[in-house]
A and B are shown apart, each in its own frame.
Chain A
Amino acid sequence: MDCRAAQDMLVDLLYDELDNATSKQLQEHLAKCSKCAAEYEQMGKVLKLVRDNPLEEPSREVTGRILHTASVAARQRAERKKSSPAWWKRLILNPAFAGAVVIVVVATVALVSVVPQKNAPESKAVAITPQTPEPAPFAKDTQVQDETIPEGSIPIQSENNKDSGVAKNISHGRKMPVSSKSTARLEKNLSPVKGGMSGIKTMDSENSGLLSDHGNAGLDRMRHQQAAGGSAQGRSKQRRSKQHRSKQSEQRRAEKTSRHLAKVMKTGAVTEVPGTTTTTKTDKSAALYPSVESVMKAAENKKRQAPEKVAAQAVVKPVSKVSRGGEGPRDLLQEKQAPKFKKNKARAIGGNVSSSDDLDMAPQPSVQADGSMQKPEVRSTSRADVSSAPTPFASVQAEEEQVQDEKRENKSGPRLKRKSFQSAGQYLYERAKSLFRSGDCKAAISAIDKALKANPHHPMAADALFDKASCLIKSGRFSKAIGTYKRIENEYPQRAKEAHRQLLRISP
């Protein structure tokens, strides 16, 4: 070990931070090297001197103050802990968390409402499964069929098995009740249903084409529910109510799907819609969309439910150019396009249709004899009334007259939007006022005269006369200005004092 390395390790040796081997080597070097040994000795002496002198201590007051502060802080912390709500309460009260929860809930609700439409067979399967009694996985298939399924239903089921492999799953799902007692009980409970079990089987056969893997999932779910369920009687009640609900939901779904199909047809993706083509019942894509029949049925239902709408449709000419699509959705497409056509028609007869697809007429106010505008009576806004809806000709004419007047006068002053005013009279006064503000005295006087002529008792009339007088003064026509103020004094007593003051100002 050389001196440099030894000197680097002297501090370590002083503080005993060297391992045994290194410490031994260093001590051997110190024994040989007097210079390094002297340095080591001096360091030790300095340290001894420093350590022999006790450290200065802070005053007790400071220590007391620090302890007091610490105890106060500890107390406050304890109070905070007591008063502060639990972590889950804090989380709930946190606005960010609340917002996130709301978003998640909305998203979930949206998903729940959308997914069943797309995966219609899933819910169908749920609708079917109530007819299946409690499953018993350990039961043999042959036994199950013999015990639970009435004779009348067997051929249908076999047909199902022929038609689709999915139906097999259904029958498999019905490896039900092992005991014949439960089967008998089930049949008894289902007796009010027309056809009993066989009737239910028929319904199954109708629905079997719509079953898919989703349906199996639904079956499994139902099996699970049934396994945890109560008595056979309660289950049968549940099944009946579910049948009813499933019928309703089927109708709703069919309507929704028809709308969806119409939308798809519009975008030209018709070929992708299985409902428009003949699909086999085993087709998986068919499971995602309702069949053509169901779509047609839904359309017919809709027609039955809203005859007045159909009447309105009757007025509509069939759309000549129909986008690519099958027969089924075409009606729906026409129904969807009908409002557009009617809208055009309404425009053609002089009416004014709001920008939305809504056919409700937006009646324009008509100009009355005194220049004010009156809103025409709003009539029924049903689609059937569209063709016979009264056109607000009067208001349109009044507007046109105003436009023509403007054109004739070729005003260069600021243009105002007429529709933003409640009446034509107000519009004229506002226009005059804006002209006055713009400094175009001549045009302003003309506009004021016109407004006064049209509606002399308008609340803005007195102001307009004041403006006119100001314009006349600006133009140097003092005598006419005096005449205007006198007119105010005479015709508008409420403003007489003000007019009198102005008269005193300009009178010689």
Chain B
Amino acid sequence: MWEKKSDEDLMASYLDGDVRAFEEILSRHRRGVYAFILRFAHNRDTAEELLQDVFMRVVDKAETFEKRSKFTTWLYTITRNLCIDHLRKMRHRKATSLDQPMAAGDSEGMTLLDKIGSDRPLPDNSAHSKKLGELIAAAVEKLSPEQREVFVLREQSGLAFNEIASVVDAPLNTVKSRMRYALENLRANLQSMGVEP
């Protein structure tokens, strides 16, 4: 029943008091939103916190959502704004968090806490010792923020280019060219990590 409904209709149902409609929305978008956040937050815990914040804001602002506008555009605009706010806060803090990953080039996905707390030798940098997914994630993280967000929104969140253009507030052609450069750079990054696509 819910699968056939559009996001906008589901939001209307949720506003009428049907929580199952919101559950459907969450199941549809949680992966995409989480993937997008993860490319900014670099940390799963922070990403989950931000994911919760995003959907809390959706709940809070549900009454302000206009049915005529696209839900995904609205949702990812909220997500992007929260991610930017988070990055700003982190920049102002300037203190190195133990939870934060170390420099991307040195040890992808590894936090300072992991490094300090472990007596074991540093993990091998070779591609064979790591899962392919982590490598891809590391390659994506190396992209410039503009290319990364377009790539993630298109490939992992499943937004159309025109929706991405609305979310990132950039012209459609710019979005497409960013995507093209993102794919080129991603291939280069993967190759530098020893992964041949």
Contact = CB atoms under 8 A, between A and B. Distances in A.
Interface of A: 7-8, 10-12, 15, 17, 39, 42-43, 45-51, 53-59, 62-63, 65-67, 69-71, 73-75, 77-78
Given A47-B183, A49-B197, A55 B55 contact: no
Nearest to B38: A56
A57 B34 contact: yes
Given A46-B187, A58-B48, A78-B17, A53 B132 contact: yes
12 contacts: A7-B180, A12-B176, A50-B136, A50-B155, A50-B156, A53-B136, A55-B32, A56-B133, A66-B52, A67-B19, A67-B22, A69-B52
Given A50-B155, A59-B48, A42 B187 contact: yes
A65 B52 contact: yes
By secondary structure, the B interface counts as helix
Nearest to A68: B19
Contact of B197 (A7, A46, A71): A46
B31 interface: yes
Q: Main SS of the interface on chain A? A: helix
A319 B55 CA distance: 86
Contacts of A74: 14, 17-19, 22
Contacts of B17: 74-75, 77-78
Contacts of A47: 155, 183
Nearest to A41: B197
Contacts of B51: 58, 62, 66
B161 interface: yes
Interface in B155-173: 155-156, 161, 173
B153 interface: no
Interface of B: 14-15, 17-19, 22-23, 26, 30-32, 34-35, 38, 44, 47-48, 51-52, 55-56, 59-60, 62-63, 132-133, 136-137, 154-156, 161, 173, 176-177, 179-180, 183-184, 186-187, 190, 195, 197
**Which of A10, A66, A74 has most B Cβ within 10 Å?**
A66
Nearest to B181: A11
Contacts of A62: 48, 51-52
A69 B155 contact: no
B173 to A, nearest CB: 8
A10 B183 CA distance: 11
A10 B180 contact: yes
A63 B26 CA distance: 8
Nearest to B133: A53
A15 B175 CA distance: 13
A56 B35 CA distance: 7
Contact of A49 (B30, B62, B154, B190): B190
A74 B32 CA distance: 24
A71 B155 contact: no
Contacts of B60: 73
Nearest to A62: B48
Contact of A46 (B44, B132, B177, B190): B190
A58 B180 contact: no
B177 A55 contact: no
A55 B156 contact: yes
**Which 10 residue pairs of A and B lie closest in terms of their CB atoms, listed nearest first?**
A45-B197, A66-B55, A58-B34, A53-B133, A70-B22, A71-B19, A62-B48, A73-B59, A43-B183, A49-B197
B55 A56 contact: no
Nearest to B32: A55
B55 A46 contact: no
A128 B32 CA distance: 82
A36 to B, nearest CB: 12
Given A56-B133, A58-B31, A73-B62, 5 more contacts: A49-B132, A50-B186, A57-B30, A63-B26, A77-B15
B136 A70 contact: no
A272 B134 CA distance: 96
A243 to B, nearest CB: 62
Nearest to A81: B17
Nearest to B37: A58
Contacts of B195: 49
Nearest to B18: A74
A82 B109 CA distance: 50
A12 B133 CA distance: 26
Contacts of A55: 31-32, 34-35, 156
Contacts of B48: 58-59, 62
A84 to B, nearest CB: 13
B95 to A, nearest CB: 25
B62 to A, nearest CB: 8
B149 to A, nearest CB: 15
A73 to B, nearest CB: 5
A39 to B, nearest CB: 8
Contacts of A43: 180, 183-184, 187
A42 B14 CA distance: 44
Contacts of B32: 55
Contacts of B38: 56
